[in-house]
């Protein structure tokens, strides 16, 4: 979507027509959001430590509301390498979305992603690329959590605890894909351009490395330790809202395959027993007859399941029906499941001669699978002809 950018190329390389540096060079992609006090220092540090060891160009992808692009343009005059600013009119996907746009604009074999606030030392850029070349890896992560690394600049014990919990949760959810990555939250890494499959990425917020590791799946990954520095100026742009976005991002990544979605559906269904039983307890304690109490309490479980499924499993498949339409269909399927189970068990016992326990188990599994397939197909499957328009509309709305 190049038309949405304001693009400034501060310097065209002497070799001529294009901005593409020679092979073996690196494109440094820097996402920026209101970093006018930092970008000059960053370019200064890059100038001091990169071009003498490795030809480079720098691409800023900027969503600022301040004068960051102007400061970059001005500072770029002193840089012995090309500097480009892509200013986005709409900050789609936040930090991660910005990084992907920068990667698409890159022309060199290697891309290094780093923050614009000098927390990531540019002197490590040539080493990240050299390590990748030497080991043949597709992805080289600068890690705070291996020997020689540290998170010195992570301000406050609260941030440290949150970061550690997020790392633990993420590694637990993706044990295989993140094997060999001690710091999946790092915002500093080198990746081969050929390993970036931009069209399958759905970046959402800060954790772009996680997105790449899980969806682009570079074949080999290695790590280099680094010391996370203090911010040069200003404050972190991360907010509590960014934390919520991160959880949504995790849920989206984890439920990308139908099998994983079915497991999630089952786990959510199991969790629904809690409100169901609590409701039953409260209603019968209040003197309601157990049959209407069962029916009402079951609706509590259905509501609970619907809420979780909407937010964790089908978050981006909701636009084609109104919420009450989805809730109605979902509730109908859930209740049909209950109503169908008894005759199904009877059928299995009387017609097929099964005994009660295996018949019940088989009926439970059958109605569960039917309900999952039914929910996908009847509640959350975009209607014919709506896929494209829905997606474009969603993109515009972000």
Residue numbers at the binding site for Mn ion (CB under 5 A): 115, 117, 119
Tokens 């690394």: give the residue: 149
Least distance to Mn ion, CB of residue 378, Å: 45
Least distance to ligand GDD, CB of residue 166, Å: 8
**Does 192 participate in binding ligand GDD (rule CB under 6 A)?**
no
Give the burial class of 385: count Cβ atoms within 10 A of its Cβ; 0-12 exposed, 13-18 middle, 19 or more buried: exposed
Q: Pattern of binders to ligand GDD over 118-147, x per CB under 6 A?
A: -x----------------------------
Angstrom distance (rounded) from CA 107 to CA 131: 20
Least distance to ligand GDD, CB of residue 93, Å: 8
Q: Tell me which of 174, 206, 265, 304 binds ligand GDD, using CB under 6 A.
A: 206
Token pair for residue 243? Answer: 């934390």
Site size toward ligand GDD, by CB under 6 A? 23
Tokens 């976005």: give the residue: 245
Q: Quick one: 115 or 211, whose CB is closer to Mn ion?
A: 115
Helix 290-308 vs helix 323-350: crossing angle, to nearest 10: 120
Cα 35–Cα 48–Cα 51 angle in degrees, nearest 5: 100
Angstrom distance (rounded) from CA 143 to CA 346: 59
Q: Quick one: 117 or 337, whose CB is closer to ligand GDD?
A: 117
Q: Quick one: 49 or 163, whose CB is closer to Mn ion?
A: 163
**Does 185 participate in binding ligand GDD (rule CB under 6 A)?**
yes
Do 6 and 82 touch, CB atoms closer than 8 A?
no
Q: Which does 337 bind (CB under 5 to 8 A by kind): Mn ion, ligand GDD, none?
A: none
Q: Quick one: 154 or 359, whose CB is closer to ligand GDD?
A: 154
Q: What is the Cα 299 distance to its own chain's centre?
A: 33
Q: Pattern of binders to ligand GDD over 321-350, x per CB under 6 A?
A: ------------------------------
Angstrom distance (rounded) from CA 216 to CA 75: 34
Give the burial class of 121: count Cβ atoms within 10 A of its Cβ; 0-12 exposed, 13-18 middle, 19 or more buried: middle
Q: How far is the CA of 318 from the CAs of 275, 376, 390, in angstroms?
A: 24, 11, 10
Least distance to Mn ion, CB of residue 261, Å: 34
- Residue 69 φ then ψ, to 5°: -60, -40
| Residues within window 86-105 making contact with ligand GDD, judged by CB under 6 A | 91, 94-95, 98
Q: Which does 184 bind (CB under 5 to 8 A by kind): Mn ion, ligand GDD, none?
A: none
Closest-by-Cβ residue to ligand GDD is: 187
- Hey, which residues does 83 pair with through a beta bridge? 58
Binding range to ligand GDD, per CB under 6 A, among 26-34, 246-254, 276-284, 305-313 = 26-34
Q: Which does 104 bind (CB under 5 to 8 A by kind): ligand GDD, Mn ion, none?
A: none
Q: Pattern of binders to ligand GDD over 229-248, x per CB under 6 A?
A: -------xxx----------
Q: Pattern of binders to ligand GDD over 58-77, x per CB under 6 A?
A: ---xxx--------------
Strands of the sheet with 5-9, listed across from one edge? 5-9, 83-88, 56-62, 26-32, 110-113, 189-192, 139-143, 221-225
Instruction: Give the interface with ligand GDD as residue ranges (CB under 6 A).
Output: 31-33, 35, 61-63, 91, 94-95, 98, 115-117, 119, 154, 163, 185, 187, 206, 236-238
């Amino acid at each position: 979507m190049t038309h949405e950018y304001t693009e400034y190329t501060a310097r065209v390389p002497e070799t001529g027509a294009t901005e593409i540096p020679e092979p073996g060079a690196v494109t440094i992609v820097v996402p920026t959001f209101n970093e006018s006090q930092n970008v000059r220092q960053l370019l200064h540090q890059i100038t001091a430590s990169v071009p003498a060891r490795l030809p480079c160009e720098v691409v800023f992808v900027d969503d600022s509301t301040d004068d960051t692009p102007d400061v970059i343009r001005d500072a770029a005059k002193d840089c012995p390498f090309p500097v480009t600013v892509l200013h986005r009119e709409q900050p789609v996907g936040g930090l991660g979305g910005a990084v992907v746009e920068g990667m698409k604009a890159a022309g060199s074999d290697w891309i290094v992603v780093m923050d614009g606030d000098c927390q990531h030392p540019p002197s490590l850029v040539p080493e990240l690329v050299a390590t990748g070349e030497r080991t043949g890896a597709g992805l080289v992560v600068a890690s705070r959590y291996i020997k020689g690394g540290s998170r010195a600049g992570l301000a406050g014990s609260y941030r440290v605890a949150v970061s550690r919990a997020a790392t633990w949760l993420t590694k637990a959810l993706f044990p295989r894909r993140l094997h060999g990555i001690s710091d999946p939250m790092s915002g500093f890494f080198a990746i081969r351009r050929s390993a970036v499959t931009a069209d399958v990425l759905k970046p959402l917020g800060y954790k772009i490395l996680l997105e790449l590791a899980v969806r682009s799946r570079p074949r080999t990954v290695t790590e280099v330790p680094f010391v996370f520095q203090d911010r040069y100026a200003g404050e972190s742009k991360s907010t509590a809202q960014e934390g919520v976005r991160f959880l949504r991002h995790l849920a989206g990544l984890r439920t990308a395959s139908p099998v994983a979605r079915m497991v999630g559906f089952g786990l959510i269904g199991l969790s629904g027993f809690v409100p169901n039983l609590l409701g039953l307890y409260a209603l019968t304690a209040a003197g309601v007859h157990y049959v209407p109490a069962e029916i009402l309490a079951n609706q509590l479980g259905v509501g609970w399941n619907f809420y979780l499924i909407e937010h964790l499993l089908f978050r981006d498949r909701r636009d084609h029906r109104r919420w009450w339409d989805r809730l109605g269909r979902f509730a109908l399927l859930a209740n049909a499941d209950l109503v169908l189970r008894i005759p199904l068990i009877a059928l299995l016992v009387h017609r097929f001669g099964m005994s009660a326990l295996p018949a019940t188990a088989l009926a439970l599994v059958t109605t569960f699978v039917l309900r999952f397939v039914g929910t996908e197909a009847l509640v959350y499957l975009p209607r014919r002809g709506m896929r494209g328009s829905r997606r474009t509309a969603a993109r515009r709305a972000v």
